[in-house]
Chain A
């Protein structure tokens, strides 16, 4: 078992063996979470603060539950409503929180790199719960766990990521993770929703969805933000659904046992057909939510172990 990180700021700094370590431990937590008695004590005595500078229901709930199941004291701070409005800078907020001796800080922020900046200023473990258009590491890890459990492996798979890749931190973290684990990644979407310099990402790019889905093992759909639908990036919702919405016909080009994923929340009838989303033989969307709690428990457990080890070393040194 290897995991040497102090923070979980992105997938980029992780070694493939560290990814495997998180997923292996998460498998244990999946078992725990399915028992009637769901309590562990890996985080007992530790304080976890969830700081969400951007609205979130699902991710915040998932982190909160993960912390509580492992015995942490969990506090949620709705940052949108608080000090930011009073003009406090991110760093001041971080220093204020730091003075309360948290052990785990879970942060979501609308700007890329903001969580990295915050991590430099605090002496606890920081988990990135999504920063701007940069990374969303726990989402990529839960997707990886879902794929590994459904396909029995996490390498040499053909995986199509479809939709609004340009604005998606989920896509970035997934591209990096799946690349590190030696899969073939395809990106499918209209050119207006693909990031610049995409050719240098080590991926294959398709603007035709049927071609892009041909013989893939995994179809990963992304949410199309409402504010992108107004004609700025795509002509209309219905044209988008016609060309890039996942329906049975388009899915038929993928392998017969291909799984369908979506990070949620879904826009049924925009990027995905409702029937596909609910098809228990193809869709693993509910499993993704379940894996999310387990992966977050594993990540926080591993970071807490490193945090405790670092503190003991410091005490011995002192």
Chain B
């Protein structure tokens, strides 16, 4: 299989140039520039100058199996991922019940294998039932295939429990995802404190709660030496602490959700619950600082934080409504806003979407080099798109981008060389 006339977006070398790419047996075997196009006899796909990039590795997707399959199943999430150019989903364990035993992990792995057309890897809970009291069976869970451990948005307040879990995880070489948030301050909050939340009368948390949580967690990472990734860094005041931790040689990386990169607290105006996410959307200054940190490489990963919620859990007064937004399909078009605004280059964007998360998880995906899996997304970065939430593949339609004018469209998605979305 040969992709010709493709604008190859290579996050590893930072290059963005016309060329070709050969795929054999699901693996990339060769690539070259437009000048030395090979004469191939097999299947040829003319990309018509559109962008071909390593498929997105999405760290932190919630699929609602087990427990809330009416919100999202592996089949629907898989279709959504394929439509969004996501070739590897890393699922979160915050299901009902939580994925905290090897048996539960085997169940979701089997479901994913049967129903999802894209690669699926699973994270498991760090503590039993994500309650922060006893550590989960980290060793067994790793044997069953868990690629990382996290309690998601449940922050373990008990530092004794957490340091033990982190030490234990360290001894097994496990990667731990942490949610930097001071749990005392953030209890009950649904907005970021400031003029906006005060005018709307919403319970709010200071953005400093993120830095307090981050400082605490960094200290524990230093104590235990564990490999850690912060799921979402969303505030300007947290960035210096992250920068120091990296400079001091701790094995840490950080991510941010697409929503915190492209929306701010004002979007909640009119109590729009589809904009209720966790942590809450921040001030515009914070958003700009986080975009800059992403550009500078301080923040490594962009993820969808895909969180399906049905209409019943969103059509409620803001304080009572569920948090989270679906984003598998809107991740790339929304992220391209940062390219169109001149904040990021296309290779820079795909470093955060594909290469960096793959590297952090020790995957060979995320690259356009011989030997890497042919997990690819073909997209038109300029095609206009008015998003219609009814057309999303996800069972839940809780997107904040309904009716939004976006620029960028996925044309086709390949997983291991097989086309899972698109007509090319």
List residues of chain A with CB under 8 Å of any chain B CB. Answer: 12, 89-91, 109, 111-114, 116-117, 131-135, 166, 169, 172, 195-198, 200-201
Contact = CB atoms under 8 A, between A and B. Distances in A.
Interface in B11-38: none
B370 interface: no
B198 A198 contact: yes
Contacts of B200: 112-113, 134
B194 A116 contact: no
Contacts, number: 71
Contact of B201 (A89, A90, A131, A197): A131
Contacts of A12: 199
Contacts of A114: 317
B248 to A, nearest CB: 32
B318 A113 contact: yes
Nearest to A91: B315
Contacts of A113: 200-202, 271, 317-319
Interface of B: 193-204, 206, 270-271, 312, 315-320
B209 to A, nearest CB: 12
A213 to B, nearest CB: 23
A195 B198 contact: yes
A201 B198 CA distance: 10
Given A111-B317, A132-B319, A201-B195, 17 more contacts: A90-B316, A90-B317, A91-B316, A112-B200, A112-B201, A112-B319, A113-B202, A116-B271, A117-B316, A132-B201, A132-B317, A172-B198, A172-B199, A172-B201, A195-B198, A196-B194, A197-B197
B198 A196 contact: yes
A177 B270 CA distance: 19
Contacts of B196: 197
B130 to A, nearest CB: 26
Contacts of B204: 196
A116 B201 contact: no
Given A89-B312, A112-B200, A113-B271, A197 B194 contact: yes
A111 B201 CA distance: 9
Contact of A197 (B193, B203, B316, B319): B193
Identify which of B193, B194, B196, B200 gathers the most chain A CB atoms within 10 Å of its CB: B200
A236 B200 CA distance: 29
B201 A196 contact: no
A135 B198 CA distance: 11
A111 B188 CA distance: 12
27 contacts: A12-B199, A89-B315, A90-B316, A90-B317, A91-B315, A109-B317, A111-B317, A111-B319, A112-B200, A113-B201, A113-B319, A114-B317, A117-B317, A132-B201, A132-B319, A133-B201, A133-B203, A134-B200, A166-B198, A196-B193, A196-B195, A196-B198, A196-B206, A198-B195, A198-B198, A200-B194, A200-B195
A112 B312 contact: no
Given A91-B315, A113-B271, A116-B270, A197 B198 contact: yes
A89 B195 CA distance: 30
B50 to A, nearest CB: 41
B317 A112 contact: yes
A53 to B, nearest CB: 10
The 5 closest A-B pairs by CB, nearest first: A133-B201, A113-B271, A197-B195, A134-B201, A195-B198
Contacts of B318: 111-113
A273 B196 CA distance: 34
A112 B202 contact: yes
A27 B318 CA distance: 37
Contacts of A91: 315-316
Nearest to B204: A196
A201 B195 CA distance: 7
A133 B188 CA distance: 14
Contacts of B194: 196-197, 200
Nearest to B195: A197
Identify which of A116, A133, A172, A198 gathers the most chain B CB atoms within 10 Å of its CB: A133
A117 B206 CA distance: 26
A306 B318 CA distance: 29
Contacts of B199: 12, 172, 201
A133 B200 CA distance: 7
A112 B320 CA distance: 10
Identify which of B199, B206, B271, B319 gathers the most chain A CB atoms within 10 Å of its CB: B199
Nearest to B194: A197
A111 B320 CA distance: 8
A107 to B, nearest CB: 11
Contacts of B317: 90, 109, 111-114, 117, 132
A82 B199 CA distance: 30
Contacts of B319: 111-113, 132
Contacts of A133: 201-203
Contacts of B201: 112-113, 131-135, 169, 172
Contacts of B206: 196
A196 B265 CA distance: 14
A197 B207 CA distance: 12
